[in-house]
Structure 1
Amino acid sequence: MSEKAGRSCPIRYQYGAAKISQAPATPCDVLYVVGGLYGNPYALDAIEALAAREAGEVRICFNGDFNWFNKSADDFLAINQRVLKHDCILGNVEAELGQALDVADCGCAYPENVDQGVVDRSNFIHTELKRTAQQQPELLAKLLAKPFFARYSVGGLKVAVVHGDGDSLAGWRFDPVHLARSDEAPWRVALFEKAQVNVFASSHTCSAAFHIEPLPQGRTGLISNNGAAGMPSAPGSLDGLFTRISATPLARQDLVVQATQIEGLWIEQVRVQFNQAQWHQHFLAQWPAGSAAHTSYFKRISEGV
């Protein structure tokens, strides 16, 4: 396997923020942005249950990597059939499912500080998932037809839903480490202008961030990276996270980890609380001890971030 596999970023992933401004802004009253479901059906149950209790028009947008651990044919079908009833964009996991089986590359564009063992195991996991996906060609075709980004209007607030960052599907510059860098602030400020949005909602890096960016003329931008909805992302717990945007705060304020208001709209990062025992059993049935996914992820799944 090439050492570059899993670290490279395909040219087709690099759309540029200005392209986002050309996408129509889908209106809704409440927007849930769910990144990194990773094939966890119990997290999906919890998210859909919360959405069912919302008032007004609610849209759930899965912003990629809703597949990962669901390598069995039944699991792959079940997760994707449910996700496709909502809005979704491609993550690198989905975008690479149509590639040849002998091309072992998850498309993650891992930076150099990520251990090579992690990269190799991700490429293996993706090959297993790809094998399953290619046995369901009609479903795979529906997935591959989905866009790389989406744009919404929530009470007039413009929101860009991306997988990686504002320029690239597999970009890492919405990772907490990059968001802490003041020298990258000019790039971030330009993104909001180019995309014509107030908020970017992302995931991809699997590490949550909630970054307020000062913009010209006293305006404020926000980058909400929910980390992962289907794996522990909320510190001190086994809960996942998703991003919620609405004119009113979530009724279950005990689930809100971080929140702010921009132009009168609430942006919140919300806990995904699901049945841990069932999920652990479900995961171990497909990825037992010693498997690639178990080695890379089970400590986080069972102990948290």
Structure 2
Amino acid sequence: MSEEAGRSCPLRYRYGTEAIAALSAVEAETLYVIGGLYGNLPALDAIEAMAAQETGPVMLVFNGDFNWFNVDDAGFAEINRRVLAHRATAGNVEAELGADGDAAGCGCAYPEYVDSAVVERSNRIHARLKQTAARHPEILAALAELPMIARYRVADCSIGIVHGDADSLAGWRFDPGAFDQKNAPAWLHNAFKRAKVDVFASTHTCTPIFKHIDAGLLSNNGAAGMPNLGGQQSGLLTRVSCHPPKGARHAGATMRGAYVDQIPIHYDHSAWRDRFLANWPVGSDAWLSYFERISSWPSDPQ
């Protein structure tokens, strides 16, 4: 892999699958796994409203990259205050905010097929966010304490929560494009077995997938804070619960007594669009990379 900033994967990101198996499981009745919020406050409002409508208690877990577009001080402070009131794990965005230097860039570890212009813009987006974060040392200190992985249990279902994949914070092996690789089936089978989980809940790659593996179930929610589905302006989260979902779902299955579903997040699109443009006007790095998707995702990425 190239060591170009934005493509490299720092050694500190590599926890290894067995580390997930070694964790004690936190019990939950209903679990929302929320990856890739990307600073979208209206999406966070919608998620909290969804949780309030559930039967029984809901545990919210933000599995990384809850920061990204929120480069304004007020938005940065509010996102982190509200997210860190729940449970969270770090994404590469959070991991690099307090890092010395910029050798890893955004920390995304983009594969070679991602255009270099996208990588360069992501590095500049993160550099701007890092400047904002530096003005909030108390938040940086809290982010530095976040784990990279977590383990939960719902009913008899064991869930491994990661940001990237089973081995690395910024791994891409849970991206839909990785499943065509020659060794992918064997690696995936072994990942579930080594981690001792029935479900992996991930994010990072921005493209959702809900896939049965012979050893378990993978739910990559794509993004909670950006559109994922053709013709819709909604995010996705992974819900694991003892209770069936009440509303629509994008995909779903049952696993060892638990309902595992990808649930749409119908946030106030106009409010989010205005917030985004206030920080990232026409022609800016984030506008060039993301505004088309934020405005109207044209087709189903799957």
How does the TM-score come out when normalised to structure 2? 0.95
Contact 2:5 2:102 in 1 (8 A): no
Q: Alpha-carbon deviation of 1:182?
A: 6.0
Q: Where do 1:185-264 residues align within 5 Å?
A: 185-215=185-215, 221-252=216-247, 254=248, 256-264=249-257
Given the alignment of the two structures, is residue 20 of structure 1 paired with residue 27 of structure 2, yes or no? no
1:56 and 1:275 mapped to 2: Cα distance? Answer: 26
Q: Where do 1:27-176 residues align within 5 Å?
A: 27-100=27-100, 103=103, 105-176=105-176
Given the alignment of the two structures, is residue 303 of structure 1 paired with residue 262 of structure 2, yes or no? no
Q: Deviations over 1:142-164 (max 9, x none)?
A: 01100001000111210000000
Q: Alpha-carbon deviation of 1:99?
A: 2.0
Q: Partner of 2:48: helix, strand, or coil?
A: helix
Change (3 A) 1:259 1:180: farther
Q: Partner of 1:4: helix, strand, or coil?
A: coil
1:264 and 1:102 mapped to 2: Cα distance? Answer: 45
2:135 and 2:58 mapped to 1: Cα distance? Answer: 33
Query: Residue 282 of structure 2 aligns with which residue?
Result: 289
Query: Residue 183 of structure 2 aligns with which residue?
Result: 183
Q: Residue type of the partner of 2:190? A: A
Q: Deviations over 1:77-100 (max 9, x none)?
A: 000000001110000000000123
Q: Alpha-carbon deviation of 1:23?
A: 1.1
Q: May I ask how many residue pairs the two structures share in their alignment?
A: 297
Contact 1:157 1:265 in 2 (8 A): yes
Contact 1:243 1:269 in 2 (8 A): yes
Query: Residue 264 of structure 2 aligns with which residue?
Result: 271
Identity %: 51
Structure 2, unmatched stretches of 5+, are none
2:15 and 2:90 mapped to 1: Cα distance? Answer: 13
Change (3 A) 1:76 1:187: same
Q: Residue type of the partner of 2:108? A: C
Q: Deviations over 1:92-123 (max 9, x none)?
A: 00000012365570000000000000000000
2:288 and 2:3 mapped to 1: Cα distance? Answer: 19
1:156 and 1:171 mapped to 2: Cα distance? Answer: 27
2:246 and 2:212 mapped to 1: Cα distance? Answer: 23
Q: Alpha-carbon deviation of 1:234?
A: 2.0
1:237 and 1:150 mapped to 2: Cα distance? Answer: 31
Contact 1:33 1:242 in 2 (8 A): yes
2:128 and 2:100 mapped to 1: Cα distance? Answer: 12
Contact 1:243 1:268 in 2 (8 A): yes
Q: Residue type of the partner of 2:224? A: A
2:258 and 2:182 mapped to 1: Cα distance? Answer: 26
Q: Partner of 1:238: helix, strand, or coil?
A: coil
1:190 and 1:257 mapped to 2: Cα distance? Answer: 27
Structure 1, unmatched stretches of 5+, are 216-220
Q: Deviations over 1:53-97 (max 9, x none)?
A: 112231110000000000011110000000001110000000000
2:181 and 2:220 mapped to 1: Cα distance? Answer: 16
Q: Partner of 1:223: helix, strand, or coil?
A: strand
1:94 and 1:136 mapped to 2: Cα distance? Answer: 13
CA RMSD, Structure 1 to Structure 2 (Å): 1.4
Q: Partner of 1:96: helix, strand, or coil?
A: helix
1:139 and 1:94 mapped to 2: Cα distance? Answer: 10
Q: Alpha-carbon deviation of 1:3?
A: 7.2
Q: Deviations over 1:202-247 (max 9, x none)?
A: 00000000010013xxxxx001000000000123211110000012
Contact 1:104 1:127 in 2 (8 A): no
Q: Deviations over 1:17-76 (max 9, x none)?
A: 100011110001000000000000000011110111112231110000000000011110
